[in-house]
């Protein structure tokens, strides 16, 4: 036992002294989290969308009003132009979208005649152009609704008694005023309540994700030393001393595990210090989750190393496997957005459960009980992985 401990301590010292390990362990996950925060966090994101606005040359009252209304949308950086120019600007990506208003907007509203607002979209813009489309759709819905309400009122009043031309004008004028007042204060309002009260930003989502991803990489580098020691002959030297093979494996696993625990805990601390991530009000749950995740990653990496035959193979097979699992399990992008079938596949990965646990801590302030499912599943995975690696290492005589 003491010998295994010494092997573990030796491994830990070698790793921590290596600057490249530190890059992989800490710098990359923190750097990537920072970049993502830079891309999506804070007041950034979509603050201004370039929009070209095209109205007919002699637009009616309502068309002009619509143009004025749309040009004042806060998100839009609108510029009034001709359709040809607008097309050119959008096709080349200088504007995300163009709104082309039709001539007979007032007829559409008053008479119910069909009118079409065209939204031209930048082919390379997946999101901004889509936002413009949604905003214009909202406007069109309001215009249609306003029109139909007006026509319904005329219809009902006229059904009781015919209306003279003078009355029609009087009523139209009144109605615009009345509708304007009424429509702005809906009878049924929706109050949005985000289901959490915690201040969560994009860092909080990605910091644990990248932590898990790079934890696996560190563990792989650590598990690889099983082969490296064999290839460099230090393993043979160890076996010539009174150290058993099981002691060696135990030492390796302990070293890996200690390194993993150090990495996860450091990343958690650095996450709070650098990005202000709030890991919740249950420190014990956070520490347990960190330690369990470390165990899962360490044993997963050992299993990969025991399947491989050489250090190089461990590197190749392992990196591929980790990347694939991270992609499936959501270490590289929010899989909550993926279809349900995709998420069902994700449940078979270690990454999925590790994220799930950290997400519950960060997003929902879960306690130990809240993450018990994740902890049990990862522990079960660790035991299976560990058993499999011991079996593989002895059966396949990777270590001889």
Partner 1 sequence: MKKILVIIAHNLRLIAADRSTLFWLLAMPIAFTFVLGLAFSGGGGGGGSTDPVRYGLTVANLDRGPQGEALLAAIEAAGKIDLLPIDGADAGDTALELVQKGDRSAALVIPPDYSERLARRERVTLTFHRNPERMNPYVTRQAIDEVLTRLRAEGTAGIGARTAYAELRGEPPPELAERLSSRASAYVAENWDPPSVTVAAERLGRTAGSDVPSMGFNHSSPAMALMYVLLNGLMMSIALVDERRERTLARLFTTPVARSSIIVANLGWRFVIGMLQMWILIAFGGLALGVDWGDSPVGLVLVTVTYVAAVAGLSVLLGSISRSSRQAQSAALVLSLTMCALGGLWWPLEITPKLYQAAGHAVPTGWAMDAMHNLVSRGYSLAGVAPQALVLALFAIGFTVAATLTFRHE
By CB under 8 A, the residues from 45 to 74 that bind partner 1 are 45-47
Q: Which of 7, 52, 54, 121 binds partner 1 (CB under 8 A)?
A: 121
Contact 328, 346 (CB under 8 A): yes
Distance CA 291, CA 278 (A): 18
Residue 260's CB is within 10 A of a number of other CB atoms, namely: 26
Q: With H, G, I as helix, E, B as strand and everything else as coil, classify residue 201.
A: coil
281: its two tokens: 């009000």
Q: Rounded to whole angstroms, what are the CA distances from 377 to 23, 295, 373?
A: 30, 12, 6
Q: Rounded to whole angstroms, what are the CA distances from 265 to 28, 211, 212, 253, 270?
A: 16, 10, 11, 18, 9
- 1 vs 190, beta carbon nearer partner 1: 190
Options 71-79, 182-190, 225-233, 257-265: segment touching partner 1 (CB under 8 A): 182-190
- 45 vs 244, beta carbon nearer partner 1: 45
Q: Which of 4, 70, 90, 307 binds partner 1 (CB under 8 A)?
A: 90
- The 8-class DSSP code of residue 26 comes to I
Helical packing angle, 372-395 and 283-307, nearest 10° = 20
Residues 234-253 that bind partner 1 (CB under 8 A): none
Q: Nearest distance from residue 244's CB to partner 1, in Å? A: 31
Q: Nearest distance from residue 296's CB to partner 1, in Å? A: 21
Contact 213, 31 (CB under 8 A): no
- 231 vs 336, beta carbon nearer partner 1: 336
39 in contact with partner 1 (CB under 8 A): yes
Q: What binding mask, one character per residue, do residues 295-334 give for partner 1 by CB under 8 A, x or -?
A: -----------------xx--x---x--xx--xx---xxx
- 44 vs 234, beta carbon nearer partner 1: 44
Q: Nearest distance from residue 193's CB to partner 1, in Å? A: 5
Residue 336's CB is within 10 A of a number of other CB atoms, namely: 10
- The 8-class DSSP code of residue 78 comes to E
Give CA 212 to chain center in angstroms. Answer: 15
Q: Nearest distance from residue 247's CB to partner 1, in Å? A: 28
- 6 vs 87, beta carbon nearer partner 1: 87
123: its two tokens: 């082919």
Contact 353, 209 (CB under 8 A): no
Residues 330-389 that bind partner 1 (CB under 8 A): 332-339, 342, 359-360, 363-364, 366, 370
Q: Are strands 76-80 and 97-100 parallel, antiparallel or unpaired?
A: unpaired
Contact 139, 109 (CB under 8 A): no
Q: Nearest distance from residue 57's CB to partner 1, in Å? A: 20
Q: Which of 2, 187, 240, 273 binds partner 1 (CB under 8 A)?
A: 187
Q: Which residue has the tokens 């959008």?
A: 90
Residue 100's CB is within 10 A of a number of other CB atoms, namely: 18
- The 8-class DSSP code of residue 99 comes to E
162 in contact with partner 1 (CB under 8 A): no
Q: Nearest distance from residue 231's CB to partner 1, in Å? A: 15
- 37 vs 296, beta carbon nearer partner 1: 37
191 in contact with partner 1 (CB under 8 A): yes
137 in contact with partner 1 (CB under 8 A): yes
Options 18-26, 70-78, 251-259, 281-289: segment touching partner 1 (CB under 8 A): 18-26
Residues 209-238 that bind partner 1 (CB under 8 A): none
Q: Which of 53, 78, 105, 307 binds partner 1 (CB under 8 A)?
A: 105
DSSP run (H or E) holding 328: helix 311-329
Q: Which of 116, 284, 344, 400 binds partner 1 (CB under 8 A)?
A: 116
Size of the site for partner 1 (CB under 8 A): 115
- 291 vs 332, beta carbon nearer partner 1: 332
Q: Which of 16, 65, 75, 171 binds partner 1 (CB under 8 A)?
A: 171
Distance CA 392, CA 399 (A): 10
Distance CA 12, CA 6 (A): 10
165 in contact with partner 1 (CB under 8 A): no
């Amino acid at each position: 036992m003491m010998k295994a401990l010494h092997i573990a301590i030796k491994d830990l010292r070698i790793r921590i002294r290596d600057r490249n390990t530190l890059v992989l362990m800490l710098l990359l996950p923190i750097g990537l989290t920072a970049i993502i925060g830079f891309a999506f966090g804070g007041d950034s994101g979509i603050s201004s969308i370039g929009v070209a606005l095209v109205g007919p040359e002699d637009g009616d009252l309502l068309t002009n009003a619509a143009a004025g209304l749309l040009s004042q949308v806060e998100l839009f950086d609108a510029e009034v132009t001709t359709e040809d120019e607008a097309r050119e600007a959008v096709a080349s990506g200088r504007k995300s979208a163009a709104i082309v208003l039709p001539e007979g907007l007032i007829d559409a509203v008053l008479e119910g005649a069909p009118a079409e607002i065209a939204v031209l979209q930048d082919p390379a813009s997946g999101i901004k152009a889509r936002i413009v489309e949604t905003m214009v759709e909202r406007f069109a819905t309001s215009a249609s609704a306003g029109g139909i309400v007006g026509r319904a009122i005329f219809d009902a009043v006229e059904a009781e008694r015919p209306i003279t031309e003078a009355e029609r004008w009087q009523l139209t004028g009144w109605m615009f005023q009345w509708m304007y007042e009424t429509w702005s204060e809906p009878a049924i309002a929706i109050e949005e309540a985000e289901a959490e009260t915690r201040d969560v930003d994009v860092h909080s989502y990605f910091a644990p994700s990248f932590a898990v991803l790079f934890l696996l990489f560190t563990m792989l580098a650590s598990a690889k030393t099983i082969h490296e020691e064999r290839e460099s002959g230090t393993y043979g030297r160890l076996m010539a001393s009174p150290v058993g093979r099981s002691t060696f494996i135990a030492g390796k696993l302990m070293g890996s595990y200690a390194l993993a625990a150090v990495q996860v805990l450091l990343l958690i601390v650095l996450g709070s210090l650098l990005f202000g991530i709030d890991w919740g009000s249950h420190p014990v749950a956070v520490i347990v989750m960190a330690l369990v995740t470390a165990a899962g990653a360490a044993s997963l990496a050992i299993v990969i190393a025991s399947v491989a035959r050489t250090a190089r193979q461990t590197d190749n097979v392992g990196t591929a496997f980790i990347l694939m699992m991270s992609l499936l399990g959501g270490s590289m992008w929010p899989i909550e957005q993926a279809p349900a079938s995709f998420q069902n596949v994700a449940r078979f990965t270690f990454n999925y459960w590790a994220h799930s646990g950290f997400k519950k801590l960060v997003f929902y302030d879960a306690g130990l009980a809240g993450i018990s499912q994740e902890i049990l599943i990862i522990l079960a995975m660790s035991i299976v992985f560990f058993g499999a690696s011991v079996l593989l290492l002895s059966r396949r005589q990777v270590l001889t």
